[in-house]
Amino acid sequence: SVGVLCAVAVQAMASRATARPNGQSQASKICQFKLVLLGESAVGKSSLVLRFVKGQFHEYQESTIGVLSAFLTQSVCLDDTTVKFEIWDTAGQERYHSLAPMYYRGAQAAIVVYDIANQETFARAKTWVKELQRQASPNIVIALAGNKADLANKRMVEYEEAQTYADDNSLLFMETSAKTAVNVNDLFLAIAKKLPKNEPQTGSSTPGRNRGVDLHDQTQQSKSQCCSN
């Protein structure tokens, strides 16, 4: 079946990956998803990616430059499924805002990040959520991450306020710290659990959406769609 072909192709790619936060590598099904990180500059988007993919943290992480953004991959294992994330980090500086649709278009998941020690970044996160709700794919899984949770003594955004906002907008929500690693793997795992792993093979309005695809064809825009059985 197409799904099996796809799984084999991804497995070949995945075998080059090293770290796997959730251990076991044997899973009967492999699904690949495009995930994008959005949020104000300096909230810690690149740091969250670096923590999740490489287990590292840089105190002096350089600000991401718009045109140099690239994707990294990392997998998490659920019971019988390996969820492989193609992670697109974006540049938070306002002058790069117009590039964002390029990154969230076709994404199945988004992490909108703010800094718990900076109220303005929470307001900015809400405008990102609105933009995603209006312009991204309708089934996109959106997670809100209150990063820099280690800076509790400088907190400006209450946990309850963010949780209520997330509940009202059907978002996943966690406070994270790229610095201490608190909730970083858990956030990606929660997203993996919420992503649809058994999409219907047909019936989608967009050709190529929601279908398992042969990942040998790297030019297909739909290469990051989920593989179905």
CA atoms of 146 and 125, how far apart (whole Å): 10
How many other C-beta atoms lie within 10 A of the C-beta of residue 151? 15
Q: What residue has token string 């790069």? A: 96
Which of 32, 46, 81, 108: binder of Mg ion (CB under 5 A)? 46
Residue count, binding to ligand GTP (CB under 6 A) = 24
Instruction: Write down the least CB distance from residue 178 to ligand GTP, Å.
Output: 4
The DSSP line for 4-53 is HHHHHHHHHHHTT----TT-----SEEEEEEEEEE-STTSSHHHHHHHHH
Mask: binding to ligand GTP, 24-53, rule CB under 6 A, as x and -? Answer: ---------------x-xxxxxxx------
Q: Who's near 144: CB < 8 A, 6+ residues apart? A: 111, 112, 114, 125, 129, 162, 165, 166, 171, 172, 173, 174
Closest CB 77 distance from ligand GTP, rounded Å: 25
* Angle ∠(128,129,131) on CA atoms, nearest 5: 65
Q: Which of 1, 63, 164, 204 binds ligand GTP (CB under 6 A)?
A: 63
Instruction: State in angstroms the smallest separation of the CB of 41 from ligand GTP.
Output: 3
| Residue pointed to by tokens 């995945």 | 14
- Quote the least distance from Cβ 113 to Mg ion, whole Å: 10
Tell me the closest approach of the beta carbon of residue 79 to ligand GTP, in angstroms: 30
DSSP symbol at 198: S
Contact flags string 110-149 toward ligand GTP, x per CB under 6 A: -------------------------------------xx-
By beta carbon distance, the residue nearest ligand GTP is 92
- Residues of the shown chain interacting with ligand GTP in the complex, contacts defined by CB under 6 A: 39, 41-47, 58-61, 63-64, 91-93, 147-148, 150-151, 177-179
